[in-house]
Chains A and B, each alone.
Chain A
């Protein structure tokens, strides 16, 4: 395969669609954090240290509602358990000869979208390369952290005069979840998705939103175990 530029730059270029998607979501996270009473530095720290969109929004809800630290931490940890599968799935596609010497660093950037993009590149015949993974991950990470900073700097009142923009940004995350769900959808996963959705509704209505999320995930995963 003839390359016209280094793999790192290839990865950086491949991150552009993710950058476009991440920046507005991170911006809305920065705004939401300041609206919830957190400082810009705290919003920046959450994005820099956690780097997982949905669980960061949940962190705001849990911490601002006074949830105990351990409950909040383990809730966030449970939300990201799915990431355990991404590395093995990617390396299986990369093949036996793929190096992983620097995986301790580039794997930090293995989010849902980065995983999807990397897997897609391998499926299109591109050879696995650690510099490519660094470029792909770095573009996405930089977009996420900088979007948060800009959103927090713009502040909680930034979008008050723009209700339609505010609403659109607010729907960015549900839209992302739905698009991700469609991207991994297959007939075998339908019972898992249906059970997770129904239990989330029941748990939220009968107990609380946080319980609904945890019970929905667990019920869906258990439904997957029961599946033959």
Chain B
């Protein structure tokens, strides 16, 4: 076992538990979510998810069509399925399928 990995995992896992459980146990929903801290927290989720999407596709945004086209078609598939079915899971699977099929066709 890699002890650095275990240390990182335990620290991150403990923080995850604290982030998910403590606000419920502390009845934080009763605290008015106004003010700058409330706005900061409310924006953290969308900012994090947007950041993760951009960071994930950024390496594929090149002039190499074999890498670029699957990302474009995968993204379009996610958008199409989301706006027709409003399902996170189906949109995700459709995006992955479109990406994989495009990669397969391009050889």
Give chain A's interface residues, CB within 8 Å of chain B.
Answer: 17-18, 20-21, 24, 38-39, 41-42, 45-46, 49-52, 54-55, 59, 62-63, 69, 72-73, 76-77, 79-92, 100, 103-104, 107-110, 112-113, 116, 163-165, 167-185, 189, 192-193, 195-197, 200-201, 204, 209, 212-213, 216-225, 227
Contacts and interface: CB of A to CB of B under 8 A. Distances in A.
B51 A49 contact: no
Given A72-B8, A87-B24, A181 B50 contact: yes
Contacts of A213: 51-52, 55
Nearest to A41: B1
Nearest to B51: A216
A110 to B, nearest CB: 4
A80 B49 CA distance: 10
Contacts of A17: 87, 89-90
Interface of B: 1-2, 4-13, 15-17, 19-25, 27-29, 31, 33, 36, 39-58, 70-71, 74-75, 77-79, 82-83, 86-97, 99-101, 103-104
A15 to B, nearest CB: 11
24 contacts: A45-B6, A50-B16, A59-B12, A77-B11, A80-B12, A81-B48, A84-B23, A85-B42, A89-B29, A107-B20, A116-B88, A163-B103, A164-B101, A168-B101, A177-B52, A182-B83, A184-B49, A196-B48, A201-B54, A209-B55, A216-B55, A217-B48, A219-B47, A223-B47
Nearest to A190: B46
B95 to A, nearest CB: 3
Contacts of B48: 79, 81-82, 196, 217, 220
Contacts of A170: 99
Contacts of B43: 189, 192, 220-221, 223-225, 227
